[in-house]
A and B are shown apart, each in its own frame.
Chain A
């Protein structure tokens, strides 16, 4: 096996991992706060990319799109939270079914307006880096860097700002948070909006690399789920690290195995995780709760 080849696989894994991390972070955040597993999260990622496709057609600037598209999706996310999820907030099965319904709707709305044919966006940075004699697109490195910056920024936001404290507090105990005067409903809105924003951002970032189509969310959401499982649902750091691991592992497995078996073995790994360590890799299990 060629050392350069391994390096390429590693970098690809890293960049995939960071994209998955961005998506899984939103998933995990929403679960940690609202206790909702958002089955429509992959569709928010897909919408991010689709909106970016239209945006670039209009404003003709990728960098502006990187800002506009997530904002639009955040607004959409706010609407979803406020009008669809809030009435059934504490009912696990109902939220799962509603988010599933939302995901169907989005997929077919996009199919209706956007068509079924995959589209592409040209890469905004055309520069290719020379790494040990092999060309590697700078744009992918840029993705890795920007997601890492975003992640550290977000952790800082959670740890060191007022809003972050409120968000963490609400996630710990909603009743106490309400009593202390935190508007938990606003916190929920913010959280869901942020989660959707992350997904959309990942969508925009991925749009120059993967084919933009109405089904693109379905595949990646599975990877994001696996990352959230291995990292521990609701645990942001764990999820992010697990995403990177999954991305790299996916790349590494691809070196040895066919893509199907790589996928299947990843699925098996996460199934085993769910059975043996449902709290994830990094979470310490809580002691038995009082009734």
Chain B
């Protein structure tokens, strides 16, 4: 079924194409227009609907496509194919250059810079009207054949219709295939929760860049096709209000869906065609429509169709997993040898505006032993304990608020750019030592790559995606983060891995649910699952049981205990019952220092620990 999904989506397009074949010349040219604009809207959909970049700059590429096509034909007598290739190449180049500059800009600023970028060529094109024809535009005299040696003429309406529509349908098919591929899913992940994507090992910037380039190239292509179909171009196609149109079409149809932009373009262009003969200022109606859609049905026409469909065919609630295989965990990182250190820090600390949040944390975890330097009231000493060989070295951190527990996790996972001291993950330095401060050497995603994953106090999930998709995104990282086509073998492997994770985290029944609709405890489970799925060997769990119902606390505790056999788990925990049940080596933290370490019951009974705890 999954295999043929992309093909199913293309059927309505082919039907429309066939209808146009038998319609009046006016209407078939109208359908051609719809197809071309759909391609433009699709480029915006990839950028906004999937990657979450709201850009008013798509017209820049559309205009570029228009002009590089028409000018190369007018002045250099290019063939049609050559001109299309040239305009695609130019828009690709411009997208690559502009993208490199602006892709690190986010949210509001991105919108503004996209407007500014499309204004620059607009002003220039308006000014250089001897070349571009300015506002009035220029007619384009096309060569007599589409392809060399083939008798298809752009001046024959039927030939034109066939060539353009079939070409656009082919491109749209490729787009849909691309959006269905793992990279399309990761685009969605970047849109939903950038932070989580980063901590799963993906570099959001690279994905945004890719999306920007693809969208730009598509917009350029649609521009050149538009000129090909209508033999005319003007500087108005640079205007950012054209991007505004694409935004309206996409959102009306349903942004972030496969058919949404096409559906939206078709219906709004039809409305425009009908209404503009009766109502002079139909844009008012369009504006009101847009406001209403955003307010009441953000998923657009496709959303409406889906909800009607769901009412008729309620989805089956019973989800079963084909085979209950033994829980084999994903392990991409080699299990370290006895003496090799898994995680170690030397004098790790950080200062915020003069306040020392974390002071001189030194510890060393390896399969053989756990070494922690503790700051007792009567001086510093090393705590060492031999590690039980059935189990990975695990720690739990206990301490009052502001003791520096989360800060320690932040430092290890690469949230802060500077620190004191140094730290190693699997014997690789994550800080490079400077004169006073150490600088972060690796980015968050490359730390995840090394094998360290974490969770947060506030669960960081992909809230708008289903549990299954959440896992798929996380697992995909270790399979192939740049898979742009869907390979059956990889999909099978991914499915297997996701099923294992669902079993492990007890989320089988919820697998089709949207993540934000889960209970708080289930969300925590899901987040732990995501951390496992990203393939790390070290898991930092930040308060996994805070605010969770008692039954789910038991589930989570069991899960952590199960994990300890295969992972180095570091847990921050306030619930002492959980700490006692976990029986990890417990570090008591206060004022940025580790003041005691050892077996939970003993440590919690120490006099100075009690004093620090109850005093605060």
Contacts and interface: CB of A to CB of B under 8 A. Distances in A.
Contacts of A263: 123
Which 10 A-B residue pairs are closest in the complex by CB-CB distance? Answer: A105-B287, A260-B127, A101-B290, A104-B287, A108-B281, A101-B287, A108-B283, A112-B281, A108-B284, A37-B108
Interface string A205-246: 000000000000000001001100100010000000000000
B372 interface: no
Contacts of B417: 288
A186 interface: no
Contacts of A96: 54, 108, 111
Interface string A8-46: 000000000000000000000001000001000000000
17 contacts: A37-B112, A84-B295, A92-B108, A98-B290, A112-B281, A225-B112, A225-B115, A233-B109, A258-B127, A260-B127, A261-B127, A264-B123, A287-B352, A288-B415, A288-B417, A291-B415, A291-B456
Interface string A274-291: 110010000000011011
A100 B247 contact: yes
Interface stretch (B67-75, B99-107, B325-333): B99-107
Contacts of B116: 222, 225-226, 267, 270-271, 274
Nearest to B279: A112
A44 to B, nearest CB: 15
Residue of B101, B112, B288 most packed against chain A (CB within 10 A): B112
A94 interface: yes
A88 interface: yes
Contacts of B247: 97, 100
The residue among B52, B290, B352 with the most chain A CB atoms within 10 A of its own CB is: B290
A84 B291 contact: yes
Interface of B: 48, 52, 54, 101-102, 105, 107-109, 111-113, 115-117, 119-120, 123-124, 126-127, 195, 244, 247-248, 251, 280-281, 283-284, 286-288, 290-291, 294-295, 298, 352-353, 406, 410, 415-417, 456
Given A88-B295, A271-B113, 20 more contacts: A93-B54, A97-B54, A97-B251, A101-B290, A104-B290, A105-B287, A108-B281, A111-B281, A112-B280, A233-B108, A260-B124, A263-B123, A267-B120, A271-B116, A271-B120, A274-B102, A275-B113, A288-B417, A291-B195, A291-B406
Contacts of B291: 84, 98, 101-102, 105
Nearest to A259: B127
Chain B interface helix/strand/loop/mixed: helix
Contacts of A67: none
A31 B108 CA distance: 10
A112 B287 CA distance: 14
Contacts of A37: 108, 111-112
B430 to A, nearest CB: 16
A108 B119 contact: no
* Chain A interface residue bracket vs B: 35 or more
A275 B102 contact: yes
Contacts of B115: 222, 225
B437 to A, nearest CB: 13
Given A222-B115, A291-B195, A101 B288 contact: yes
A274 B112 contact: yes
Nearest to B248: A101
Contacts of B52: 93
Contacts of A107: 283
Given A37-B112, A104-B287, A108-B284, A94 B298 contact: yes
Given A87-B295, A97-B294, A104 B286 contact: yes
A28 B331 CA distance: 50
Q: Looking at A92, A260, A291, which has the most chain B CB atoms within 10 Å of its CB?
A: A291
Interface in A66-105: 84, 87-88, 92-94, 96-98, 100-102, 104-105
A100 to B, nearest CB: 6
Contacts, number: 118
A109 interface: yes
A176 interface: no
A108 B244 CA distance: 15
Interface of A: 31, 37, 84, 87-88, 92-94, 96-98, 100-102, 104-105, 107-109, 111-112, 222, 225-226, 229, 233, 258, 260-261, 263-264, 267-268, 270-271, 274-275, 278, 287-288, 290-291
Contacts of B127: 258, 260-261
Nearest to B296: A87
A274 B113 contact: yes
A88 B108 contact: no
B287 A275 contact: no
A267 B112 CA distance: 11
B98 to A, nearest CB: 9
A226 B109 CA distance: 11
B21 to A, nearest CB: 35
Contact of A274 (B109, B123, B195, B456): B109
Contacts of B290: 97-98, 100-101, 104
B256 to A, nearest CB: 11
A96 B110 CA distance: 12
Contacts of B105: 274-275, 278
Contacts of B298: 94
Given A97-B294, A288-B417, A108 B287 contact: yes
Nearest to B56: A100
A93 B294 CA distance: 10
Contacts of B294: 88, 94, 97-98, 101
Contacts of B113: 271, 274-275
Contacts of B111: 37, 96
A112 B280 CA distance: 8
Contacts of A109: 281, 284
Contacts of B54: 92-93, 96-97
A92 B107 contact: yes
Nearest to A31: B108
B127 to A, nearest CB: 4
A231 B192 CA distance: 30
Contacts of A261: 127
A17 B107 CA distance: 27
Contacts of A84: 291, 295
Contacts of A87: 295
Contacts of B295: 84, 87-88, 98
Contact of B124 (A88, A229, A264): A264
B107 to A, nearest CB: 5
